Amino acid sequence: MWYFNAQEIVKFAVGIEHNGQAFYREMAGRAGDDRVKKIFAFMAGEEEKHEALFGQMLSRLPATPDQDESYPGEYQEYMRELVDSHVFTSGTDVSALGGKVQGEIGALDMALSFEKDSILFFHEMKRMVPAAERHTVDQLIEEEHRHIKTLLVMKRELTGSPPCKC
């Protein structure tokens, strides 16, 4: 079983944020409702900020050690597959996803689902990082939690729900 280091996980995060940004921009461009368009444009901007933040984190981490491979490029291929298997991939059928969005609440629910998927992904990856490096993955998770909190506030404002007392 391969184990990853923090630098590799942050590389995943940069790729996920980059793909998420492209996805949200595409969804904003396709949205017929101006309010839905605004939500997706906002999320694209948030993904852009995270991509930059995670890129800064990456520049401060030590280099990735070489991995033992059974053929040249095996490890890089495996890494690429992990990122591409996340919900935000360049091959995502934006039209199909866009057809599922029902107004502002639907847009927020979709964004919440993607952010939760990212957190789950990072939690799973955290188990594959040496204990001394897990704090870096925790930082990624905390950033995604901030997105969720922002989206939940937006949703409560739209629905008129009272703030959570958790």
Q: What is the reported pLDDT for 163?
A: 67
Express each pLDDT in 11-62 by its tens digit. Answer: 888 888 888 888 888 888 877 778 888 888 998 999 999 899 988 888 887 7
Q: How confident is the model at residue 142 (pLDDT cuts 50, 70, 90)?
A: very high
For residues 120-148, average pLDDT? 86
Amino acid identity at 6: A
The model's pLDDT over 82-110, given as tens digits with 9 standing for 90+, comes to 666 665 555 666 667 667 777 788 888 88
Name the residue ranges covered by the structural domains of the chain.
Answer: 6-62+74-159
134-159 and 34-59 helices, crossing angle to 10°: 170
Q: Which H, E and C letters describe 103-135, residue by residue? A: HHHHHHHHHHHHHHHHHHHHHHHHCCCCHHHHH
**Cα dihedral 144, 12, 48, 161 in deg (nearest 10):** -20
Q: Which CATH class is domain 6-62+74-159?
A: mainly alpha
Tens of pLDDT, residue by residue over 110-127, are 889 888 988 988 888 888
